[in-house]
């Protein structure tokens, strides 16, 4: 009778090692993807945000606001524009990957929706900021009009009164 040798190998460690390698590969791919998007977008986004921020800064300079308030509004504008551009880029990338693929759309539909929400919130921030700027502009205009009216009446008050005969 031949003896059968039974060799028991523990495959669980190999499965975990394969899972770790797969996870590391996915993580590396995700990091590369984000780096590539950041590289591609950062120059475009930075240029667009910088140009928009320059225009916005000129608008705020004309209003002669408190420097701290102007700085805060610039920061809000810059953050909202950057968030909006990045969310749009991520949305476009995922949209292209899920286009005409029901399974991928089912898997990624909520993520696409979240990106749209981020863009919507950034738009709402920009609209609110535009309302604040418009209110400040109207206040400045009102003060200028009052100044002109006061100046006009101050000149007339210094004139000689008309004597009645």
Give the per-residue pLDDT at 64.
Answer: 83
| pLDDT the model gives residue 19 | 56
Q: What is the mean pLDDT of residues 26-45?
A: 63
Q: pLDDT band at 125, cuts 50/70/90? A: very high
User: The tokens 């004139």 sit on which residue?
Assistant: 159
pTM of the model: 0.59
DSSP letter assigned to residue 3: P
CA distance 154 to 99: 70
Residue 33: count other Cβ atoms within 10 Å of its Cβ. Answer: 12
Whether the CB-CB separation of 91 and 74 falls below 8 Å is answered with no
81-96: buried (b, 16+ CB within 10 Å) or exposed (e) per residue?
bbbbbbbbbbbeebee
| Measured distance CA(148)–CA(47) in Å, rounded | 41
Confidence band, pLDDT 50/70/90 cuts, at residue 27: low
- Please compute the mean of the pLDDT values over residues 71-77 and round it to a whole number: 91
What average pLDDT does this structure show over 113-129? 95
More confident residue, 42 or 65: 65
92: tokens are: 């476009």
Judged against a pLDDT cut of 80, whether residue 129 lies above it is answered with yes
Q: What is the pLDDT of residue 131?
A: 95
What percent of the chain shows pLDDT beyond 70? 67
């Amino acid at each position: 009778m031949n003896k059968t040798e039974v060799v028991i190998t523990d495959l669980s460690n190999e499965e975990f090692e394969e899972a770790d390698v797969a996870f590391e590969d996915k993580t590396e791919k995700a990091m590369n993807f984000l780096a590539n998007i950041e590289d591609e977008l950062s120059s475009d986004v930075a240029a667009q945000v910088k140009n928009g921020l320059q225009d916005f800064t000129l608008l705020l300079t004309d209003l002669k606001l408190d420097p701290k308030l102007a700085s805060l509004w610039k920061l809000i504008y810059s953050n909202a524009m950057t968030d909006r551009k990045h969310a749009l880029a991520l949305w476009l990338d995922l949209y292209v990957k899920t286009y005409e693929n029901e399974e991928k759309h089912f898997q990624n539909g909520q993520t696409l929706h979240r990106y749209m929400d981020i863009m919507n919130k950034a738009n709402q921030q920009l609209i609110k900021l535009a309302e604040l700027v418009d209110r400040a502009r109207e206040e400045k205009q009102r003060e200028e009009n009052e100044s002109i009216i006061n100046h006009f009446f101050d000149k007339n008050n210094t004139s000689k009164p008309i004597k009645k005969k």
